[in-house]
Amino acid sequence: MNLKELSMNKFLRSKFSKKIRNFLNIKPSFDLVDYTLKNISVSDAFFWRTDDGFKTIFRFTNIIKFFYGEKELDLKVIFFDRNNKFIKKIYISSTTSNELVIDKSFLNNISSYGVFYVFHKSSNKFNGIIRNSCYTGYSFKNSIPSFVHGNIIVAEQNLENMKITYGLGGVSFFKKFTYKIQNYFNYEATEIMLINPTKKKINILVNDNELNLDKGCSIIVKINKSKLIEITSNCYLLRPIVFTYNNSFFDVYHG
């Protein structure tokens, strides 16, 4: 690859280029992460639930230890409610695999749902971008938890100035897209959990149910006996988490 090709490749990976491409709908990008930057920690939006008998189990591994040889991993975890209102921030220091139980007592007796973000912290500078999708499990009425890995990149933190930027989801200005969940929903009950990963208010159509979701907000949509689920919006990747119930059977997975 010559110098001209390298320069073009760098430009296409930049946030500025992604915004132009998304605006024109030419090779659009699902996220607005600037992959030309260094020393950045990016985070998915991880869903938490403490409503209706749920508790959430967050499991993560010290990837900095494995890939960069550091002995300790410092994580900053920031919690928001369904309306994107700040709840709390915690710091976790550890050396191996870890588990955090998120229940009502942990979240100030809140019985609801929302999202949390996870950012790494290190004294060293990284020549790249760190992302740990981790695993989030959901236990319903003390059932064995069902786990899914990270869902959608939504936020980033600059590890030098510690500035956090939210709303990194890609959005189209002119076009809407239909996302069909690849499953046949022959269950007693189904719910899907969505977050608006963009910086703009978006309109969402779930089958015949029209919704509006402000930036950073999340919602649980109950599906009424539909065998197929279609999600239409101007977000390039509005990827849901699916909760299915069938008598004593319970499962969680990515849409």
pLDDT in tens, 11-36: 667 777 877 787 778 888 888 888 88
Q: Name which of 73-82, 101-110, 121-130 the model is least confident about.
A: 121-130
Q: Are 240 and 192 in contact (CB under 8 A)?
A: yes
Question: d(Cα 18, Cα 95) in Å, to the nearest integer?
Answer: 36
pLDDT of the residue at 3: 45
Look at the domain 177-254 and name its fold. Answer: Jelly Rolls (2.60.120)
pLDDT of the residue at 5: 44
Domain with CATH 2.60.290 in the chain: 40-166
Secondary structure (3-state) at 2: coil
Beta strands in 150-248 (DSSP E): 153-158, 164-166, 177-180, 189-195, 202-206, 209-213, 218-223, 230-233, 241-246
Mean pLDDT (the chain) is 85
**pLDDT(96) > 80:** no
Amino acid at residue number 4: K
pLDDT of the residue at 240: 92
Domain with CATH 2.60.120 in the chain: 177-254
Q: Which CATH architecture describes the domain 40-166?
A: Sandwich (2.60)
Radius of gyration for the chain, computed over Cα atoms and rounded to the nearest angstrom: 19
Residue 203 phi/psi, 5-degree rounding, is -100, 135
Q: Which two tokens stand for residue 86?
A: 């700040």
Amino acid at residue number 177: F
